[in-house]
Amino acid sequence: MILNNGVSSSGKTRAFGARIRRFESSHPSQKYEIIGILKGETRKFIMDDLADSLKLFGGTSNISLTKEVSDYLNILPGKMLNKTFSDGEIRIEIDENVRGRETFILQSTSNPVNDNLMQLLIITDALKRASARSITAVIPYYGYARQDRKVKPRVPISAKLVADLITVAGVNRVISVDLHAGQIQGYFNIPVDNLFAAPVILNYIRKHFKNNLSIISPDAGGVERARAFAKRLNASLAIIDKRREEPNVAAAMHIIGDVKGKTAVILDDMIDTGGTLVQAAQVLTQNGAKHIYACCVHPVLSGNAIKRIEESTIESLVVTNTVPLNKKASECSKIKVVSVSEILGEAIKRVYYSRSVSSLFV
């Protein structure tokens, strides 16, 4: 196919690549007249771009985020039957034509992790068998990410296994937010865009936490993230020395840096049981921090996390909506939610139009 008037003075068609690139970079609200040439026959098509060719399907893990992203893209969520049989098996039916369409599946593999993961795989298979042109898995929270290496003999690398399952199911590209370890991108043999929720969290900090800030990394692994935030906020940096005795149990030992009289903001990629966060807050209190706040991207909040946060010296906890809050978390007055829907929506739009997404990484 070439665009109208796509014939040169010599009678030869212009370079296809140059013309299609111009088409892909056009504004999404416009309509495009395309001429198809097949066996000497000329046919016309009118394409109403996003509304017709991009389909966004959402699993049950984060229905509200799917709606927000759809609103940002100004499209309706894809029509799909998503139910469970009486024996627990997942039933998926795609209720609209996706042949030749660019399809996106928004599904966090959060609690219940295995159900949501299986749902993602089955939706992918359904789209593949319905002849979708491409399938992009938008996974705001990537479950099993903490099992990214062998920490002792005879244990699996589950993060790699999940990557293999997603790829074999038929996904062509993955979009995620703040992977627990950046090297997880290398577990896939398909393109992976690891976005960051930093812009929305930074905006919240600038508006609500002012004067004499100190950004706190709760462990050595988060120093790079905390340093980047401190630089953008013109704040100081401190590090909590933490020693983990067993899974889900952490002991915060002491602090590296000065927090006396400062507004401390603990920064982490996720909060699970809340043990690390609460113990970090205790250390900060003992070292004279004036105010203590916390920010994280993925509010997993399992076990007694809410109770620990409510009883801690943390004044407020800022989280994103990559993982939907459970009932207890929603009722907690300390928890404030900021949305990553615009970041995900913009990434989807740029992937669809083959534009750069690198500006979303900062």
Active-site residue list: 242
The DSSP code for 322 is: S
Contacts of residue 302, defined as CB under 8 A and 6 or more positions apart, other chains included, come to: 111, 272, 273
Query: Is the distance from CB of 78 to CB of 56 less than 8 angstroms?
Result: yes
Q: What is the Cα–Cα distance from 288 to 191, expressed in whole angstroms?
A: 46
Q: Which two tokens stand for residue 180?
A: 């627990």
Q: What is the Cα–Cα distance from 80 to 103, expressed in whole angstroms?
A: 13
β 173-177/134-139 pair status: parallel
β 54-58/236-246 pair status: unpaired
**Helix/strand/coil for 284:** helix
Q: How many helices (H) and strands (E) does the chain have?
A: 11, 17
